[in-house]
Amino acid sequence: MAHLCRRKSYTLLFYYYYYFKYMNLNKLKTLKKIFYKLIIFLYNTLLSSIIMANAKSLIGALCFITGLSILLQWILVWTGHFPVNESVPGYANYFNAFVLADFWLILNALLAGLFLWKENSKAVLFGIALGSAMVFFGLYAMLYDMITGLFFIFTAEELFGKFVTFYNIIIGLIFMIWFWLHNPNKFQFNS
């Protein structure tokens, strides 16, 4: 089973490698390098977790990857390496309005990963808060894209935005469900 996962992962890795290598991103060469390294990091972390068949390691790695990826995105925005283009009127203001909300996500992601790594039951609180915030953000971004028409534009920048939106929805749901199912103090209701 592990060899099938490894073969499929190698195929995806080569697809992303050639996609980024031959993609014409003249303005975003630095961003291209950073996301290429991020894909390799994701690949190595996720593959090792799948091979080890340890869901706790996978969830913990996803918590840290999520938090650090959001932090990296804002560092790139503030240093000018990730330009926020005005694809529709007001988009830059919409994008920049998420700074505090994203730092809430970063805080929850890093604390959920840390407490999960330490096997502390507080991981449940931060994991569910993280998942809920991610789903909220993903649904909000998806609806914004549908209303403004960005949902139906398939440039490289918009495809990246769609990836982030669906990542937030899917992984956020996974976080909420996984942390709830692994809650050591499930609520007890008296009849």
DSSP-assigned states of every residue in the chain: -HHHHHHHHHHHHHHHHHHHHHS--STTHHHHHHHHHHHHHHHHHHHHHHHHT-HHHHHHHHHHHHHHHHHHHHHHHHHTSS----SSTTHHHHHHTTHHHHHHHHHHHHHHHHHHHTT-THHHHHHHHHHHHHHHHHHHHHHHHHHHTGGG--SHHHHHHHHHHHHHHHHHHHHHHHHHHT-TT------
Task: Tell me the torsion sign for CA atoms 31, 171, 19, 143.
Answer: negative
Best CA proximity match to 132, nearest among 105, 161, 160:
105
Of residues 129 and 90, the one with the higher pLDDT is 129
Token code pair at residue 146 = 């549908």
Q: List pLDDT tens digits, range 171-180.
A: 999 999 989 8
Q: Is residue 185's pLDDT more than 80?
A: no
Q: Is residue 11's pLDDT more than 80?
A: no
Looking from the CA of 142 toward its CB, the CA atoms found within 13 Å total 14
Of residues 35 and 48, the one with the higher pLDDT is 35
Percent of the chain with pLDDT over 70: 68
What are the residues whose beta carbons fall under 8 Å from the beta carbon of 143, sequence distance 6 or more?
A: none
Sorting pLDDT into bands at 50, 70 and 90, what band is 30? low
Structural domain boundaries in the chain: 54-181
What are the residues whose beta carbons fall under 8 Å from the beta carbon of 35, sequence distance 6 or more?
A: 20
* pTM of the model as a whole: 0.69
Sorting pLDDT into bands at 50, 70 and 90, what band is 151? confident
Q: What is the structure's pLDDT at 28?
A: 52
Instruction: Please return the burial class of 60, using the count of CB atoms within 10 Å of its CB with bins 0-12, 13-18 and 19+.
Output: buried
